[in-house]
Structure 1
């Protein structure tokens, strides 16, 4: 049983490593956003800033899939293998999202929800949407959905091209 567990961990070591790296990049981005006032006086740029992060997310997925292709698949990886690698990495990220969101909203930017509610036109609906429990749930499902989309796109470009 121990050998099987060790073998399984080695099989997914790259996905776990890059999922953790993604999480740290996400938190670093949040620190950058806070330092730029995105969670306060520059809140109008929050959506743009959030979208810009996904350029970095695509880079992280690209580096992860390239590493998996090189070090696990010996330089030859098809699209399905790339998608599977991305899926496993996405699962790691989704599992880390509750801790990530708690760190972000409790330690880095505790003012975030209050400021988002103040900036909203409908305060009642905003209070339901902008809270830690809601954001944890949203972040898990968003990580799963956007992670699969990014994985499929990156896998297409990283896959080994078939020669004719």
Structure 2
């Protein structure tokens, strides 16, 4: 467990940062009045997510690998953090949609139906806590592995 301590710590930091970002989005009205821009504005979180992968790999390289790290070691560090983030994502979704922005699903469903993006049935099937839990876990796994692979290229040291 000691070998996973750094990745687990950064997964918690990542999850807390995600929750803070959700509060930020809610505060700026991206879940209500400006919901039409929510999809692309959420991408502004990407640099913060990448930064956390850089920081976990730097810390792991410094504390665990004696300031040397291969690409594979960096990728493995990022992959472990990714797994923990994916496991924490259902909790983050629950907190987001029950405490931070409980009206989000109603707002996005109404926006989608009103603007003829999808039918009410499809919107109800797509915009719900169960679907978002699955999307966040799978998205965390896919995105995290890609980011881990790329960041590890830049942080390897021999």
Q: Normalized against structure 2, the TM-score is what?
A: 0.95
Matching residue of 2:5: 13
Please list the CA deviations of residues 22-50 of structure 1 after superposition, one character each: whole Å capped at 9, or x if unmatched: 00000000000000000000112211222
4+ runs deviating over 6 angstroms: none
5+ long unaligned stretches in structure 1: 1-8
Shift of 1:55: 1.0
Shift of 1:124: 1.5
Are residue 40 (structure 1) and residue 32 (structure 2) matched?
Answer: yes
Matches within 5 A, 1:7-86: 9-86=1-78
Shift of 1:19: 0.3
Choose from 124, 129, 132 the match for 2:126. Answer: 129
Q: Secondary structure at the match of 1:12?
A: helix
Please give the alpha-carbon distance, in whole angstroms, between the structure 1 residues aligned to 2:40 and 2:155: 27
Q: How many residues align?
A: 153
Please list the CA deviations of residues 67-86 of structure 1 after superposition, one character each: whole Å capped at 9, or x if unmatched: 00000001000100011000
Please give the alpha-carbon distance, in whole angstroms, between the structure 2 residues aligned to 1:34 and 1:97: 18
Shift of 1:155: 0.6
Choose from 93, 98, 104 the match for 1:106. Answer: 98
CA RMSD of aligned residues (A): 0.8
Please give the alpha-carbon distance, in whole angstroms, between the structure 1 residues aligned to 2:68 and 2:84: 24
Please list the CA deviations of residues 117-154 of structure 1 after superposition, one character each: whole Å capped at 9, or x if unmatched: 01112222111010000000111000000000111111
Matching residue of 2:140: 143
Q: Normalized against structure 1, the TM-score is what?
A: 0.91
